[in-house]
Amino acid sequence: GAVVSQHPSRVICKSGTSVKIECRSLDFQATTMFWYRQFPKKSLMLMATSNEGSKATYEQGVEKDKFLINHASLTLSTLTVTSAHPEDSSFYICSAWRTRDEQFFGPGTRLTVL
């Protein structure tokens, strides 16, 4: 099967610091990865599309300077939450597209900003 990992699974940081979350496709190459945010008891909100070799595309309302995305290779995308604040606390999920209709999800990263 297709496996997508995320690291770390949980992170607690102080307000004002930056946090990097990694998303890796372990057994396939993904030119496209998505980053989502999931609020408690709510659905997934697509934040941005990470494209290998080019700039990420951000959804409306998502600050690109706050949520930095780097798609360094065909198996790795990173999301950096810069100058994190308590309102950034959330569950962040990545997905990797193996084909046009096959999207595989990472297990998610719980970010808590104190």
Partner 1 sequence: GNSVTQMEGPVTLSEEAFLTINCTYTATGYPSLFWYVQYPGEGLQLLLKATKADDKGSNKGFEATYRKETTSFHLEKGSVQVSDSAVYFCALTWNSGGYQKVTFGTGTKLQVIP
Please report, as ranges, the residues that interact with partner 1 according to CB under 8 A.
Answer: 4, 32, 34, 42-44, 46, 49, 51, 57, 93, 95, 97, 100-108
CA contacts within 13 A on the Cβ side of 14? 0
Smallest gap from residue 16 Cβ to partner 1 (A): 29
Task: Considering the complex, state which of residue 19 and residue 93 has its C-beta at the smaller distance from partner 1.
Answer: 93
Question: Smallest gap, in angstroms, from Cβ of residue 36 to partner 1?
Answer: 8
Which residue, 14 or 41, is less far from partner 1 as judged by CB?
Answer: 41
Contact yes or no for 7/110 (Cβ under 8 A): no
What contacts 27, CB < 8 A, 6 or more positions away? 1, 2, 3
Cβ 83 to partner 1 shortest distance, Å: 27
Q: Given the complex with partner 1, which of 49 and 75 has the nearer CB atom?
A: 49
Task: Taking the CA atoms of 32, 87, 80 and 39 in sequence, report the sign of the dihedral they define.
Answer: negative
**90 versus 106: smaller Cβ distance to partner 1:** 106
> What tokens were used for 42?
């709510």
CB of 43 to partner 1, least distance (A): 5
The label of the residue with tokens 């610091």 reads: 17
30 close to 24: Cβ distance less than 8 angstroms = no
